[in-house]
Amino acid sequence: MRFAFTDDQKMLRDTVREVLQRECPPEVVRAAWEGRHEGAKAVWSTLAETGLMGMTASEEAGGMAMTALDLVLPLEETGYAAWPAPIVDTVAVGIPLLEAAGTEEQKERWLPAAVAGRIRIVLSFEGQDVVAHAASSDLLIAERDGAAFCVPMAEVTVVPEQSVDRSRDLGRVSFDVGPRSRMRQDIDAGALLSLARDRAALGTAARLIGLSRRMLDMAVQYAKDREQFGKPIGTQQAVKHRLANALIEQEFARPLVYRAAWCLATSAPEAPTAVSLAKIYAGQAAQFVAKQALQVHGAIGYTIEYDLHMWMKRAWALAAAHGDAAHHRERIGRQIL
Amino acid sequence: MDLDFTESENAFRQECRDWLEAHVPREPLASGDTREGFSQHLEWERKLFDAGWAAVSWPTQYGGREASLVEWLIFEEEYYLAGAPNRVTQNGIFLLAPTLFEFGTEEQKERILRPMARGDVTWAQAWSEPNAGSDLAALKSTARRVDGGWRLSGQKTWSTRAAFCDMAYGLFRTDPAQARHRGLTYFMFPLHAEGVTVRGVDRLDGDEGFAEIFLEDVFVSDADVIGETNEGWGVAMATTSSERGLSLRSPGRFMATAARLIDLHRRYQDRAGPALRDEVIRAWMDAQAYRWFTFQTVTRMMQEESIGADSSMNKVFWSEMDVRTHETALSIIGALQELDERAPSAIDDGQWMKGFQFALAGPIYAGTNEIQRNIIAERVLGLPRK
């Protein structure tokens, strides 16, 4: 039993953190809100140069054959920066799924480009046809009636939706469910898709932890700076306790996310339960921290011009994405009751 | 990261499980916070000690097994899962002993540790005073220098099981000229000596679990001072941080409570309904969250990282989880929740109401959760004190 990351894993996190700090300040998120995605896409290219996009591909496919455990810290950083991009869809889920379930032709066409960071993949699981970043991506991997499909975005109809988090560039996807885009049929698609769903949920949980940490950082900084009654509001016990509660929620979610990553990385039999635990607690923490951060900021937090709202709205979106709390609680309930 | 237990950790778990299965009393003992129950519990503690399970993480020379922190957590999981009795030696083994290991002399360790772990000499904490609770540094009891030792005077209160214990430990003011947390010294003192009066106080659940201690010129020799004179605050803080951090309430206890709650729900689910079902799942999940948080903390401790004020988060989490879990159980029991221990119709012998009352103490003892939240905000988040 040893619950700690390796130096290599932490180094990778630091690399991603530095890139995002430099290239994905709040202005880039704000630009995406206004329909300008160039900044967020430029980050994709820079991160591709570090090899991040190929992390989960096998070495034969030009990747690094890394696992959910290697990926969880970098994904947390993408949440911290609120980077608006389908990184979980592409790297945590899409590439491994394409490699495992793609036909030779599909792999040849898409895999090298995905590993090199030239294309972006988005996912649409059964019943989840409202997809973030669909219009600006290149390939859709979808589950319909238990079968897996790999559809070039040129053949997908995307009807714009509107997320409360505008930077998600949300759309409802549909496509012709034909044999041409069908993925391999000689394999157990059900098992692969269910693994893919768990990977998506875990990746989302990791981003949620990052979102929490950023919102808490903002609120703590604000509580130190903002003065009322002649002293920082952070000296008030009511404010302190609010932020202490936020930290507790966040810090008890975090090890669950890391543990779920380990379970996925090692194909542990308890992985599905671990992922559900992680997703529930990370989602709850992010939404709880968002609420506390808003209250601590007061009126300024309740505006569009201040940055906090972009993180809050991302938290609301991701907390329910890839299985909301009720869904995952039910999955656990069936296991333990 | 490797979250599998090693072969030797698994073997250790099996050894714990086998021994506990063979030895845990079939019939539950009377509450360890009553006079009758206390002596029953001591018999059990002796059995534990003689088989080497009383303090598994201690060096073998004091009766331990030199178990790692992970193994200690494994022992605790197995201990509470087996339904073994609560530990009445807790405040010695898990509060005083860590202080002795850090600050005690060789003579003190030799003299005190084995009898403590065997339950031959029982220990009570004597932190609070009538006017020094959360604000412990406001304490007024004094120790006056005399030939070969000290004379202690004053009043201590909320002293757990002191009505049945042999010895106690706490802070006394040795330099009245110094204010607050300066000028305090850490003493161990007898509860059956001349000048000591102990008065039991019935707790919320009716057990005589508390006591007040009155001291009038009680002699204590220099051998019973821990650490340096006037440096007692630092010595005591080391203890309270281990109390909150880990050793006071390990995850095994709450995992066992969650398992019992699931069993209760299974028996009465017809009346429980979906909202309570969700709460039962939550109780199980919270215990899991606490478990993995603890394994992460223990890894940090084993890498010699200091966990410091993080232990305050730990304390807030488990104490509030424990209250919620018991509230859920009582909601499942419904109209019969008021039935007390030994009421003929009580479900599970009224242990949920009993446990609920005990759980309510959690957010109060070992530093109230209000104080813990101040510590978290100031020392972890760095918010300004004033």
What string of DSSP letters covers A280-332? HHHHHHHHHHHHHHHHHHGGGGGSSSSTHHHHHHHHHHHHHTTS-HHHHHHHH
Indicate which CATH number applies to the domain containing A255.
1.20.140.10
Please indicate, yes or no, if residue A280 is contained in any of the structural domains. Answer: yes
Q: Per-residue pLDDT averaged across B370-379, rounded?
A: 96
Q: Per-residue pLDDT averaged across B58-67, rounded?
A: 96
Q: What is the identity of the amino acid at B7?
A: E
The boundaries of the domain holding residue B343 are: 249-380
pLDDT value of position A177: 93
For a pLDDT cut of 70, what percent of chain B falls above it?
98
Please indicate, yes or no, if residue A149 is contained in any of the structural domains. Answer: no
Residue B23 confidence (pLDDT) above 80: yes
DSSP-derived 3-state class of residue A143 = strand
Query: pLDDT band at A97, cuts 50/70/90?
Result: very high
The boundaries of the domain holding residue A225 are: 189-336
Q: Per-residue pLDDT averaged across A36-63, rounded?
A: 96
CA distances from A226 to A148, A234, A241, B255 (A): 52, 8, 17, 42
Q: CA–CA separation, B132 vs A182, rounded Å?
A: 73
ipTM of the complex: 0.97
Please indicate, yes or no, if residue A179 is contained in any of the structural domains. Answer: no
Please indicate, yes or no, if residue A79 is contained in any of the structural domains. Answer: no
Q: Count chain A–chain B contacts defined by CB atoms under 8 A.
A: 135
Query: pLDDT band at B242, cuts 50/70/90?
Result: low
pLDDT value of position A86: 98
Q: Which residues contact B328 (CB under 8 A, 6 or more apart)?
A: B261, B276, B279, B280, B282, B283
Q: Per-residue pLDDT averaged across B284-308, rounded?
A: 91
Residue B244 confidence (pLDDT) above 80: no
Residue B20 confidence (pLDDT) above 60: yes
Q: Which DSSP state fits B129?
A: B
Query: pLDDT band at B304, cuts 50/70/90?
Result: confident
> Do B380 and A247 make contact, defined as CB atoms within 8 angstroms?
yes
Domain match, B168 and B62 both? no
Please indicate, yes or no, if residue B355 is contained in any of the structural domains. Answer: yes
Domain match, B172 and B227 both? yes
Q: Which of A2, A240, A329 sits opposite B1 (nearest CB)?
A: A2
The shortest C-alpha distance from A123 to chain B (Å) reads 29
Q: Per-residue pLDDT averaged across B119-131, rounded?
A: 97
Residue B78 confidence (pLDDT) above 60: yes
Please indicate, yes or no, if residue A61 is contained in any of the structural domains. Answer: no
Domain match, B253 and B364 both? yes
Q: What is the identity of the amino acid at B234?
A: G
pLDDT value of position B245: 60
Residue B248 confidence (pLDDT) above 80: no
Only one residue has tokens 């006037």, namely B230
> Do A245 and B1 make contact, defined as CB atoms within 8 angstroms?
no
Give the chain B residue nearest A328 (alpha carbons): B281
And the tokens for B56? 């598994």
Query: pLDDT band at B337, cuts 50/70/90?
Result: very high
pLDDT value of position B311: 87
For a pLDDT cut of 90, what percent of chain B falls above it?
90
Largest distance between two CA atoms of chain A: 71
Task: Give chain A's mean pLDDT.
Answer: 97
pLDDT value of position B258: 98
If you write DSSP's letter for every residue of A191-245 in order, what string do you get? HHHHHHHHHHHHHHHHHHHHHHHHHHHHHHHHHHH-EETTEEGGGSHHHHHHHHH
Q: Per-residue pLDDT averaged across B205-231, rounded?
A: 97
Give the chain B residue nearest A276 (alpha carbons): B285
Q: CA–CA separation, B347 vs B333, rounded Å?
A: 7
Please indicate, yes or no, if residue A243 is contained in any of the structural domains. Answer: yes
Q: CA–CA separation, A299 vs A295, rounded Å?
A: 8
For A276-301, how does the pLDDT look when each residue is reduced to its tens digit (9 = 90+)? 999 999 999 999 999 999 999 999 99
Please indicate, yes or no, if residue A293 is contained in any of the structural domains. Answer: yes
The shortest C-alpha distance from B169 to chain A (Å) reads 31
Domain match, B50 and B135 both? no
How many structural domains comprise chain A?
A: 1
Residue B137 confidence (pLDDT) above 80: yes
How many structural domains comprise chain B?
A: 3
Q: What b/e sequence results for A92-108 when a residue is b if at least 16 CB atoms lie within 10 Å of its CB, and e otherwise? A: bbbbbbbbbbbbeebbe
Supply the residues of B annotated as catalytic.
243
The shortest C-alpha distance from B159 to chain A (Å) reads 28
